[in-house]
Structure 1
């Protein structure tokens, strides 16, 4: 278990240790970082779920489909948030609509995961995904705190 966390931290740190790049190269750099994060997430989930080859063959295409739907929803949300506010729909209603759609996606895929995985493993998918994100965020904050240095850095470590 400790080896997994060490591996995760090394991968996450390597993601953010790139020298600054020009704006022209920013797009490819962003994609490279996303690819590395995605690879780390797959490794993390693979370890947490401990899938058999048959389970993995059924699970990963389904999980990829799930993440694609979530990414589309997040992109739509970002686009709508960038647009000027209109009086047609209050911001709270838009946020609730987003949360409802996210819940619908997760409910659908929870059922799909239960079709291809044993119940114990299917129940761990979303929790493991959340643990991965939380670990990634902690790693990023720790790195930012180390880069900032000085007395303000202590605030990030706590």
Structure 2
């Protein structure tokens, strides 16, 4: 049953990757991540149906906040900014970080409604393991130094 779900999720995500040619690389990584998380968390079909909408919503919202923070930092010309404008920028950065924190809190509460606490904790480790695997794969394909 678990393997059937894993195969279905992988096939579904793969077809989405083919449909979006512009962003195929990101979709391929996303489908690998879905399969990896599903397998490592041993999600049941019921858990997976409830988990993925929560996870995807959080991921989209968190990415948008991270992008807003990055965009804000890119626009700051430190050499030219006045002290008062710098203070305003700091306040705006703090507000973005607070939004990210509040989003994470809401996400964690929502996850606990659909997964056992042990799987919620394991999720962070699994995500970190996946990132490390992707980074190691990137290094092995592109050489260790640039």
Instruction: Identify the structure with bigger relative contact order (alpha carbons < 8 Å, sequence gap 6+).
Output: 1
**Partner of 1:34 in structure 2?**
26
Q: Does 1:52 align with 2:33?
A: no
Matches within 5 A, 1:64-83: 64-83=56-75
Aligned Cα RMSD in Å? 2.4
Residues 119-145 of structure 1, C-alpha deviation per residue, up to 9 Å, x if partnerless? 111221222112211221121122111
Q: TM-score, normalised by structure 1?
A: 0.66
In structure 1, the gaps of 5 or more residues are 1-26, 146-152
Taking a change above 3 Å as real, the CA distance of residues 64 and 94 of structure 1, as seen in their structure-2 partners, is: same
Residues 34-80 of structure 1, C-alpha deviation per residue, up to 9 Å, x if partnerless? 10011011011001111111111111111111111111112212221
What is the distance in 2 between the residues matched to 1:80 and 1:99?
A: 12
**Partner of 1:144 in structure 2?**
142
**Partner of 2:114 in structure 1?**
116
Taking a change above 3 Å as real, the CA distance of residues 98 and 139 of structure 1, as seen in their structure-2 partners, is: farther
Taking a change above 3 Å as real, the CA distance of residues 95 and 48 of structure 1, as seen in their structure-2 partners, is: farther
Q: TM-score, normalised by structure 2?
A: 0.70
**Partner of 1:100 in structure 2?**
98
After superposing on structure 2, the runs of 4+ consecutive aligned residues of structure 1 that deviate more than 4 Å are 90-98
Residues 71-122 of structure 1, C-alpha deviation per residue, up to 9 Å, x if partnerless? 1112212221221334423576665554433322222111110011111112
**Partner of 2:17 in structure 1?**
none
Taking a change above 3 Å as real, the CA distance of residues 95 and 42 of structure 1, as seen in their structure-2 partners, is: same
